[in-house]
Structure 1
Amino acid sequence: MRGWDLVFAAVRVGSFTAPWAWRCYVNERFSEEEDFRKRSELAAELIRSFGPPLESRVMVLVDSTYCCGTVIRAAHQRGFPVVGWVKKNRLLSDGRRAWDVPEERSAYLQGLEIPLKIVHGGRGKGRRTVICTDLASGCQQILRRWKRRWGKEHFGLGDCRCRGKQSLERWVELVLLAYV
């Protein structure tokens, strides 16, 4: 629906993916609430509220929308490494584009004090620049992790044609119920 979207989180263990939590995002222009929050703030809230199972390693996998300081800081505070792709024009602290940095270099995104490893996947127009906050990870390992992220179409959430917040919430609840 115009001005509405979902910020959705899933848990993946091996090849099994299960929905975990979500937040309804309303574009500031359409929001009637006084405490408007950006998508990245809602995603950071989901990360901060996640209670991992004991003795498990958690990794946050994100697309370019959520590969930003707010989300990376929230994950870093919890001790969760982040793997995500950045857009071609994303700048580093030294003014270069992440796209232009040679593979497997450490760098800092502009405005972010957390070191990242930069790798590239694909060729030509399909090339992606992927970052990882786990500096010990190798190029192939980072790209494998990035490929494991998923989209909302995985659960049929992309098919929603609802017109209001309550309808959107009910749609998500029905999709999750059907999944379970």
Structure 2
Amino acid sequence: MILRTLLLADDESALGRTLCDALRSWRIVVTIDRASAVVAVKAHRPTVALVPLGPGGEGTATLGAILAEAPACKVVMLDGGSDRTAAARAVALGAHDVVPRAAEPAELAVVIERAHHRNALEQEGRRLAGDAPPTLRAVRDAAERRAVLDALARVDGNLSAAARLLEVSRPTLYNLLRQHGIRTA
């Protein structure tokens, strides 16, 4: 069986021991600060991380560092009684959930399992996206390429005239040409 990985970015060893008992099918990597959390994320690629919200913004800084390194990781913030604004800020910055630090181990285990499940569903969704109909971006890119090619054809390749016809600046037209791989003579 492949072990799932949980990052616990907390300096309280009691929580780590408690979680080891509650999450026997998980590999739990414990770190004590933001720098070691980032190193652990690079090395272990956890699907879920537990980070204390804490005072002074260290928790949200750790949240940002983890998500910068592993955007798919679901970060659950442990709230030790901070004000509601700090929890809301953490969610706005990308935290998957905020739970009380004093939560029962079984409750934490459920939150962690749900976060892992969400991560797995999102990964599957990204894999299936290849089978999906074209996205709005793909449709827009195709229409944009067609418009540039049509404008160039109507003005016999004159870039200034094509830019005026498309109602864009010449530098913007140059960017569009490069973006869509269109070469002019």
- TM-score class, shorter: 0.3 to 0.5
Tell me the TM-score normalised to structure 1 length: 0.33
More strand by share: 1
More helix by share: 2
Tell me the TM-score normalised to structure 2 length: 0.32
